[in-house]
């Protein structure tokens, strides 16, 4: 009689342990299945990249942002497309701050001698102005007005005159 009770107790204990393991496995599986996917890691449009004196800077290493200071709707987006078609990396588009008056085009940057600025200005032509200020966009900021129509066939590259840092797309 004691032998039968031992066997029943052992079977009951085994079933209890197996049930507990099944419930723990189901709980772990449920939590893993309902856990949200990790969010996409946003990589920056550009990173500060050192360019050495004597090297060449090409459009695919220059990020351009375009702001519309005119009354023509979609001018910034259309101009950005022109820069993209010319091989530049597309940055931000939008409207220029209120009160900005630009008839044709103007580049906003810290230094006119910056190789990225020189390359962008070569595509805008001699009528494009320059204003020494930090642009609100990523990379080189170009502000276009109602008089802007098309990019010019500017330089394919510029020679870096001194060690510089440009805003380039991440490798």
For residues 23 and 82, membership in a common domain is answered with no
| Cα(97)–Cα(100) distance, integer angstroms | 6
For residues 153 and 75, membership in a common domain is answered with yes
| Cα(94)–Cα(77) distance, integer angstroms | 8
For residues 159 and 106, membership in a common domain is answered with yes
For residues 53 and 23, membership in a common domain is answered with no
Domain count, the chain: 2
For residues 99 and 137, membership in a common domain is answered with yes
| Cα(43)–Cα(46) distance, integer angstroms | 8
- What is the separation of C-alpha 104 from the centre of its chain, rounded to a whole number of angstroms? 27
For residues 86 and 137, membership in a common domain is answered with yes
Does residue 112 lie in a domain region? Answer: yes
pLDDT in the model for residue 77: 94
Q: What is the mean pLDDT of the chain?
A: 89
pLDDT in the model for residue 42: 73
For residues 13 and 67, membership in a common domain is answered with no
Q: What's the pTM value of the predicted model, to 2 decimals?
A: 0.73
pLDDT in the model for residue 67: 96
For residues 124 and 158, membership in a common domain is answered with yes
Domain span at 53:
47-168
> Which residues of the chain carry a pLDDT beneath 70?
1-5, 41
For residues 22 and 67, membership in a common domain is answered with no
Q: Which two tokens stand for residue 91?
A: 């940055």
């Amino acid at each position: 009689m004691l032998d039968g009770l031992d066997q029943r107790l052992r079977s009951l204990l085994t079933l209890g342990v197996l049930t507990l393991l099944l419930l723990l496995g189901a709980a772990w599986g449920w939590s893993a299945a309902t856990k949200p996917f990790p969010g996409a890691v946003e990589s920056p449009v550009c990173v500060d990249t050192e360019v050495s004196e004597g090297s060449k800077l090409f459009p695919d290493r220059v990020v351009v942002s375009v702001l519309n200071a005119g009354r023509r709707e979609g001018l910034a987006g259309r101009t950005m497309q022109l820069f993209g078609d010319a091989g530049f990396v597309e940055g931000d588009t939008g409207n220029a701050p209120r009160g900005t008056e630009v008839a044709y085009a103007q580049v906003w940057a810290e230094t006119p001698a910056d190789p990225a600025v020189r390359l962008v200005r070569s595509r805008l032509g001699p009528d494009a102005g320059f204003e020494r200020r930090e642009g609100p966009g990523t990379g080189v900021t170009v502000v276009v007005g109602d008089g802007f129509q098309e990019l010019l066939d500017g330089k394919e590259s510029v020679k870096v005159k001194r060690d510089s840092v440009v805003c380039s797309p991440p490798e």
